Structure 1
Amino acid sequence: MADEKPTQKDAYSLILDAIDAGIYRPGARMVESELAERFGVSRTPIREALQRLETQSLLIRDGRSLIVASLDHNQLAELYAVRAELEGLAARLAAQHAAPEEVRVLRELVEEDRKRVNDPSALARANRRFHKQIHLASHNRYLVQQLDLVHRTMALLATTSLAVEGRSEKAIAEHDAIVQAIEARDGDAADTALRAHISRAFETRLRLDSAAGAGGA
């Protein structure tokens, strides 16, 4: 019994990571026995992890089955609106409260990303690390918790907007502008730069979804 909680946490993280990586895409059925076999975990923690993901609306019911949820246009707009507000606040607070070491790490992340410009999958993973670093640099635990929830929901997006031609270079330039503002301890500029970054990401996402919809017609 003493090992149950860490096992449960591992099962939750493993399933969430698999959704985030696109192994289980929106609409995919989540079968306890298959998940237990894939991850080498017993069915009890898998069941508890699935229940947790359902309460977070990352999984939904389809009859008796649980499937990975998908986001419609309105949900996507709502998600990006909340994300822009929270991320902008995180950047503002990071400009005020980040330790010099945290600012240097942000700068290093941007420079490292320049080497990943032709690898959208690697850049998408690095992008999550970059944003997480800003969240932590805000030094506001309640804001970090809310942003964690937002970014968990982002896992429901089946593709990365960084795969759109030319978006990688622009995203890195936007990250650079965010870090410059944080380095300058300019909260207003950091907030503005990060909100603009999220707005452009949302615009790219809308174009991506529109193209996908047209292709399926």
Structure 2
Amino acid sequence: MRASDRAYATLLDEIQSGILRPGAVLGEVEQAARLGVSRTPLREALGRLAADGLVAQQSPRVTVVTAIDAGDIREIFEVRRALEESAARLAAERGDAAAFADLARDFAHVDLAGAEAPGPTSPTTDGTDAYYALIERFDLALDAAVANDYLTAALRTVRTHLVRVRRLARDNPARLAASVAEHRLIAAAIAARDADLAAHATHVHLHNALHSILESLRATALTNSSTPRSI
């Protein structure tokens, strides 16, 4: 792996996981030393992150992690809705019905409270981790079914931001359970080659997801504003 790819992958993971929070300063000298790369590959990595919209240049040698607020999230979901509804419709027309029938079955058997050990060298994951892994499989199947490089490239960009959005929102067990059922319906509709139902089920899923995320952010903001500050 090239040094710039390694630096990009590390910084992307740290931004998406919340290790590098919005507003975090990414000084060129400090980050190059921390990541063990020279400044040229670091600049390449930061340039890619800037193109993703995850960082912004504050000065010639200082870059900061961009903030994400409710307005940004609404805009992301506007794009996501257009792309994913189209993708679901196309997948129902073009995709491997058996593959999506298998995914629908897997969604039906998700146990959010359970735990599983994928293998002797893999860490044990709880039910939520397993569910997000299943969503990744669903996304890969959707991309393969659509067979449109322009559409899937746009979806990858949106998904890059969605990782941050999910981590900014609080865990909501009721919403997660509803999301499992919504994904099962989408996969089943694609398997049945019902393009209208696949698109409509995707629309409902995204509407509910956006509402839940915005509610979580509002609740977090209210909690933070009511917490006494030490002086």
Q: TM-score, normalised by structure 2?
A: 0.79
Flag structure 1 segments of 5+ consecutive residues without an equivalent: none
1:103 aligns with one of 78, 100, 105: 100
- Written as runs of structure 1 = structure 2, the 5 A alignment for 1:40-59 is 40-59=36-55
Asked if 1:215 corresponds to 2:211, the answer is no
Alignment CA distance shift 1:150-1:103 (3 Å): same
2:198 aligns with one of 175, 179, 190: 190
Alignment CA distance shift 1:162-1:100 (3 Å): farther
The AA in structure 2 aligned to 1:12 is: Y
Identity %: 33
Asked if 1:65 corresponds to 2:84, the answer is no
**Structure 1 stretch 63-72 or stretch 168-177: which is displaced more?**
63-72
| C-alpha distance after superposition, 1:108-131 (max 9, x if no partner) | 65256x134564455345434433
Kept in 1, the 8 Å contact 2:97–2:192? The answer is no
Asked if 1:149 corresponds to 2:157, the answer is yes
Flag structure 2 segments of 5+ consecutive residues without an equivalent: 115-125, 226-231
Please identify the structure whose Cα radius of gyration is greater.
2
- Counterpart CA distance in 1 for 2:91 and 2:170 is 24
- Counterpart CA distance in 2 for 1:160 and 1:125 is 19
Kept in 2, the 8 Å contact 1:174–1:197? The answer is yes
Kept in 1, the 8 Å contact 2:189–2:197? The answer is yes
Kept in 1, the 8 Å contact 2:96–2:191? The answer is no
Asked if 1:89 corresponds to 2:97, the answer is no
| C-alpha distance after superposition, 1:47-74 (max 9, x if no partner) | 2110221133210234552111122322
- Counterpart CA distance in 2 for 1:155 and 1:196 is 20
> Shift in Å at residue 15 of structure 1?
1.9
Residue of structure 1 in register with 2:75 after alignment:
78
| C-alpha distance after superposition, 1:81-121 (max 9, x if no partner) | 11011001111111111124542553365256x13456445
- Counterpart CA distance in 1 for 2:66 and 2:134 is 24
**Structure 1 stretch 151-160 or stretch 176-185: which is displaced more?**
151-160
Partner-residue secondary structure (3-state), 2:183: helix
- Counterpart CA distance in 2 for 1:96 and 1:129 is 19
The AA in structure 1 aligned to 2:100 is: V
Q: TM-score, normalised by structure 1?
A: 0.84
Alignment CA distance shift 1:8-1:197 (3 Å): same
- Counterpart CA distance in 1 for 2:144 and 2:21 is 29
Kept in 2, the 8 Å contact 1:8–1:45? The answer is yes
Paired residues in the alignment total 212
Moved over 6 A (4+): none
Residue of structure 1 in register with 2:11 after alignment:
15
**Structure 1 stretch 156-165 or stretch 143-152: which is displaced more?**
156-165
RMSD (CA atoms): 2.6
